[in-house]
Chain A
């Protein structure tokens, strides 16, 4: 029973980490986007992901409280006071924002995945996870609508935008495999219908992504390499950098509140 509870806490935190780190990355565009409307859009999408992370962490904190009582961590402590190896986010979300093409290519691949994933998670037997998914899916529909428009516009745009988009896809392609890799705790929760079988989403994801890339006159990169490790806390060198920026305030002024 205790193991099961640990698996659930790990799973919820991992989902929170995916949202937090992607939200943090997107927020780096604030004041730097190519034009005002895009700046607002990126900041709003970033907020959606950070809000999602907060819901996951609040839930993880509640779950911890059941086991650890007053020693349980708060949502803020979970978000801000862990070390690199304790974060369980997928590698794809921690990669630097790169140029606008890279940011959009990553967003598109992740948005397609999120849509498929959340469509399943709304049926989770865990009612809190199902409720969070129910909120998130509606936002993801908007995110995807926008990121796929950018894929078309940049892919089928100028020579330079096309070239940048192909380069971006090549750079991130090997990281997409991890979207469909099950961690031990996700597998353990699958039997009770709490978690989702990621591996089963791969063919739909490929189909949707391939169709859109073709429409955008972009080549689908070949599967030459893949990396995983985020779920075990084995991150790229970029994770430390993003955490240093994100945690600065809480580390300098512990317990500071807005």
Chain B
């Protein structure tokens, strides 16, 4: 049963919003915008990008912050703004939305793979499942610190290959 891929409700809703959107080109365009701290991961795959609509020639982009104090939020807003302006959209508005609160379940499957390739262990939501080393995949790992280089990560160490690594915490 475990092998059946399931996606979370918030992610499913977001995917539906993108699929049914009248502005597919804008979604594709914003795929260029990456998380400033994990530059392989797009805001879409991270689950931050919630909605894009156009009204009165203004592009309204809705995003949801990851952590309350995430210092990358402002940079994300600026990056969205400059990508849209560069593509010829003169008026851009960016709204931040607090509810539903961002959770690691909003990260896409592709995003999880990108985290892993980048050397960050993706969040493990099922209780009892091990956090595996992104380098050697060993499940024998140890928590070093609940808080790593940024609020969203914890610091782990692999007991098999001795690699210290970041784990993207469940939120």
- Measured CB to CB, the residues of A under 8 A from B are 23, 37-38, 40-41, 44-52, 54-55, 127-128, 130-132, 134-136, 138-139, 142, 145-146, 258
Contacts and interface: CB of A to CB of B under 8 A. Distances in A.
Interface residues of B, number: 24
B67 A37 contact: no
A145 B70 contact: no
Given A44-B147, A47-B70, A146-B146, 7 more contacts: A40-B148, A44-B151, A51-B68, A51-B69, A130-B99, A131-B98, A134-B98
Nearest to B148: A40
13 contacts: A40-B147, A44-B69, A47-B67, A47-B69, A48-B67, A49-B68, A54-B68, A131-B101, A132-B98, A134-B100, A138-B101, A139-B67, A146-B146
Given A134-B98, A134-B100, A37 B151 contact: no
B94 interface: no
Contact of B147 (A37, A49, A50): A37
Contacts of B169: 142
B71 A47 contact: yes
Contacts of A134: 98-101
A55 B98 contact: yes
A44 B101 contact: no
Contacts of B69: 23, 44, 46-52, 54
A45 B98 contact: no
Contacts of A38: 145
B95 interface: no
Interface in B126-171: 144-151, 155, 169, 171
Nearest to B74: A258
Contacts of A51: 65, 67-70
7 closest Cβ pairs, A-B complex:
A51-B69, A51-B68, A47-B69, A41-B147, A37-B145, A131-B99, A131-B98
Contacts of A131: 98-99, 101
Contact of A48 (B100, B146, B151): B151
A52 B145 CA distance: 23
A47 B151 contact: yes
Contacts of A258: 74
Most buried by A among B99, B103, B147, B171: B147
A55 B146 contact: no
Contact of A45 (B99, B101, B147): B147
A52 B151 CA distance: 14
A37 B98 contact: no
A86 B171 CA distance: 35
Contacts of A55: 68, 98
B123 to A, nearest CB: 12
Contacts of B151: 44, 47-48, 139
A121 to B, nearest CB: 13
A38 B21 CA distance: 45
